[in-house]
Amino acid sequence: MKYETIAEYSNTKFRRITGVKRATFDRMVGILQKGYAEKHRRRGRKPKLSIEDMLLATLEYLREYRTYAHIAASYGIAESNIYRGIKWVEDTLIRDGTFSLPGRKAPLKSETEYEVVLVDATESPIERPKKSKSDTIRERKSGTH
């Protein structure tokens, strides 16, 4: 689905489709436009997808767990281009720091206490009756009659 299609949607439907509010989407586009301007300061080939479409493809990848091949087919470009574009969008947004997640040690620094319950779900062997030699010999003999 291209951005031109969903740009006309209401805010509620836009959020249901993309997973983010329109204001958040616009902030992401602003960050990506700055990143694109830095990347192509002097020259560069025009991208096949607009920045909005590339962000939309990234959100589809992250939210719907679609493969690169499916996304590439829906946008009509090569799978390698989708892969590079999604990686660039992710890296640019993370580098900016506005949309980054807290680090691993963030829960340790907070004053919130967590209660954890662990469930042992390891595999255990199934108990089956042991076969003895006399049982196998009887089966062989009865099978030859």
Supply the pLDDT for residue 139.
59
Q: CA–CA separation, 2 vs 7, rounded Å? A: 9
- Domains in the chain, number: 2
On whether residue 105 sits in a domain, the answer given is no
User: In terms of domains, do 10 and 57 share one?
Assistant: yes
- Among 56, 72, 96, the domain-final residue is 96
User: In terms of domains, do 13 and 67 share one?
Assistant: yes
User: In terms of domains, do 116 and 62 share one?
Assistant: no
Q: CA–CA separation, 26 vs 100, rounded Å? A: 17
User: In terms of domains, do 125 and 82 share one?
Assistant: no
User: In terms of domains, do 89 and 118 share one?
Assistant: no
Q: CA–CA separation, 93 vs 36, rounded Å? A: 11
Are 11 and 22 spatial neighbours (Cβ–Cβ below 8 Å)?
A: yes
Supply the pLDDT for residue 33.
92
- Residue length, the chain? 145
pLDDT tens per residue, range 82-108: 999 999 999 999 888 887 766 666 556
In sign, the C-alpha dihedral spanning 72, 77, 78, 82 is negative
On whether residue 102 sits in a domain, the answer given is no
CATH of the domain at 65: 1.10.472
On whether residue 103 sits in a domain, the answer given is no
Supply the pLDDT for residue 115.
77
User: In terms of domains, do 9 and 66 share one?
Assistant: yes
On whether residue 92 sits in a domain, the answer given is yes
Supply the pLDDT for residue 89.
92
pTM of the model: 0.67
User: In terms of domains, do 23 and 70 share one?
Assistant: yes
Q: CA–CA separation, 56 vs 32, rounded Å? A: 12
User: In terms of domains, do 64 and 116 share one?
Assistant: no
Q: CA–CA separation, 62 vs 76, rounded Å? A: 19
Per-residue pLDDT of the chain (145 residues; tens, 9 = 90+): 588 888 889 999 999 988 889 999 999 999 999 998 888 877 777 888 999 999 999 999 988 888 999 999 999 999 999 999 999 999 999 888 887 766 666 556 666 676 777 776 677 677 777 777 666 666 556 655 5
On whether residue 107 sits in a domain, the answer given is no
Question: For residue 119, what are the domain limits?
Answer: 112-144
Which of 6, 90, 11 has the alpha carbon at shortest distance from 53? 6
Supply the pLDDT for residue 45.
78
Are 54 and 85 spatial neighbours (Cβ–Cβ below 8 Å)?
A: yes
